[in-house]
Amino acid sequence: MRLAVILLSFLFSAFLFACGNGEEGSSSGNAASSASQNAGLSDFELEHGIGPITSPMTMADFDIDMAQRGQDIFESKCAACHQMENRLVGPPIVGLTERRSPEFLMNMILNPGDMARKHPEGQKMMQEYMMVMPFQNVSEEEAREIVEYFRKVDKGQ
């Protein structure tokens, strides 16, 4: 219980901090001020998330076997909270690869705690879904396979 209170107050102050930063100096264009507006996140992190993926990924042609492995992992570790079309505990999966970059999805899967606390998009989702997605103990390779499965879902194959 005490831990929950500490965690909540931490999240709340992180949220206030992020809001405060967003309001000041929005019209000044230099790099230092835009970095401080975004709690020190780089342009890459703002677009592609915070986590182990720190540079652009090369996306090869769609790979059906990889997608199948991703689907198996998804069904065992993710489907309890995510449905394809509808909101469940977390957001729906359909359309994710159109809204998010593969790097963003990988960082979200591999580092959901920091995403919820430190990334503006993660903070928004945390408010909307009222929880922080727990890390599901997947490797980087498994996360990549899951992203391939999401590609399959959005290709409708």
Binding site for ligand HEC (CB under 6 A): 74, 77-78, 80-82, 89-91, 96, 100, 105, 108-109, 112, 116, 125-126, 129, 131-134, 136, 138, 146
Nearer to ligand HEC by Cβ, of 19 and 25: the residue is: 19
User: CA–CA separation, 39 vs 120, rounded Å?
Assistant: 9
Our CB check for ligand HEC shows the closer of 38 and 90 to be 90
By C-beta, is 69 or 77 nearer to ligand HEC? 77
Residue 93, amino acid? I
State the nearest-atom distance from the C-beta of 108 to ligand HEC, in Å. 4
Instruction: Find the shortest distance in angstroms from Cβ 33 to ligand HEC.
Output: 27
Nearer of residues 37 and 48 to ligand HEC, judged by Cβ: 48
Which residue in 52, 56, 61 sits closest to 143, CA to CA?
52
Which residue type occupies 14?
A
Task: Write down the least CB distance from residue 113 to ligand HEC, Å.
Answer: 8
Joined tokens for residue 121: 């998009």
Q: Which residues contact 148 (CB under 8 A, 6 or more apart)?
A: 62, 63, 66, 67, 69, 70
Of 156, 146, 155, 152, nearest to 78 (Cα)? Answer: 146
Instruction: Name the minimum Å distance from CB 24 to ligand HEC.
Output: 26
